[in-house]
Amino acid sequence: MDDRTHSYANLQRIDYPRVEDDSPLPPLTREAVRNEARAGLEEIRDFITTDEFITLLGDLYDRAPEDRDEFVRTELLDSARLRARNITIPEGMKIQRSQFGDNRPTIFCVTKLMPDGVRKVTYTFDSDSIPAGV
């Protein structure tokens, strides 16, 4: 196996800047992936558990389920509205709409780009369940 291939070589890279075809990919040892994923999820946790973000989640989940999608589109995806709520998305993170092939009721997610600029970790929020602490 050369230094550009690994067991995930057939995955399509989406949503973030593409890696040039001739650039080396980092080694994907189990420990490295575990440590990066844990660190990324901890960064997301630190962001989504701020008082401001918890207040926003409370506002979201106070709405009827059929009104939550519109709230996500108008409040969570609008950087000016987030700033008005004193919420700044950390570098390398993104709030985005998400949909999965298994029809989970996900209404948005927070993603953290890994240092290689290709992989990411994602924390999803579903429409029909209220996160603990909201």
In a domain, 112, yes or no: yes
In a domain, 4, yes or no: no
In a domain, 3, yes or no: no
Cβ(76)–Cβ(110) under 8 Å?
no
Mean of per-residue pLDDT scores for the chain: 79
What's the domain count of the chain? 1
Domain extent, residue 53, equals 30-126
The tokens describing 6, both together, are 């690994």
Residue 29 confidence (pLDDT)? 77
In a domain, 121, yes or no: yes
Sheet arrangement for strand 120-126: 93-96, 106-113, 120-126
Cβ(47)–Cβ(88) under 8 Å?
no
Residue 21 confidence (pLDDT)? 60
Percent of the chain residues past pLDDT 90, beyond the cut: 45
> Average of pLDDT values for 106-114?
89
How do strand 106-113 and strand 93-96 relate by DSSP bridges?
antiparallel
Which tens digits make up the pLDDT trace of 75-105?
999 999 999 999 999 999 999 987 666 666 6
DSSP assignment letter at 74: I
The tokens describing 64, both together, are 């009827």
3: pLDDT strictly greater than 50: no
pTM above 0.75, yes or no: no
19: pLDDT strictly greater than 60: no
In a domain, 56, yes or no: yes
